[in-house]
Amino acid sequence: MNIKKKSVLIIGMGRFGRYLATKFAELGNEVMVVDQLEERISDLLPIVTSAQIGDCTNIEVLRSFGVSNFDICFVCMGSNFQSSMEITYQLKELGAPYVIAKTNREMHEKFLLRNGADEVVYPEKESANKAAVRLSAGNVFDYVELTPEYCIFEIPPLNSWIGKTIAQVAVRVKYKINVLATKYNDRVFPLPGADHVFKKEEHLIVAGNRVDIMNLLKKF
């Protein structure tokens, strides 16, 4: 299967911006990075497609990048809210199709959305939520929040499930969750059938309503 490469513009080379640039480049996408300070982008030159020095609050600087040609534009200026607002607004004015803005404060989210952001990310909050859920539950290996109500968890099987099939346990009916995949010896096996037998050493990738999954976790 051929996956279409994305063209990505990332403004602001703090920790989050650098991480995004590295990961998008590793996945084979075309990545342009921009920062006002040369020392923040120089070591990324071998990795990314291009790197520019410039003040992106200046609309002419943004215009010179041809921002409407990028699939995604990231504004990673979380510590400077005013600059984030200006850059987000100007990107949309110049025809950027999809703008994602980073913020460090939850109260800023609504202002960025009103100012044109298609999406706002809050890495500190997301990391804190993930750590709190994983460490509080004790039996959670990983956790992804898809919506405030719907989540994906990586968990072990209950002791009472081991040696039984998915059908025998009646996972969907009794626990209201879906088993998306199993993980054994670091290998992932997607969409297990109803005849799959739960093993003690395996992990389960399950999806469902947060309340239903948290109720399941209380049984460990």
Q: Which residue has the higher pLDDT, 2 or 57?
A: 57
Which DSSP string do the residues of 119-187 spell out, in sequence order? EEE-HHHHHHHHHHHHHHHSS-SEEEESSSSEEEEEEPPPGGGTTSBHHHHTIIIII-EEEEEEEETTE
Q: What are the structural domains, with CATH classification, of the chain?
A: 7-123 (3.40.50.720), 134-217 (3.30.70.1450)
Question: pLDDT of 71-103, one tens digit each?
Answer: 999 999 867 899 999 999 999 999 999 999 999
CA–CA gap between residue 134 and residue 12 (Å, rounded): 30
pLDDT at 126 over 50: yes
Q: What digits encode the pLDDT tens for the residues 156-181?
A: 999 999 999 999 999 999 999 999 99
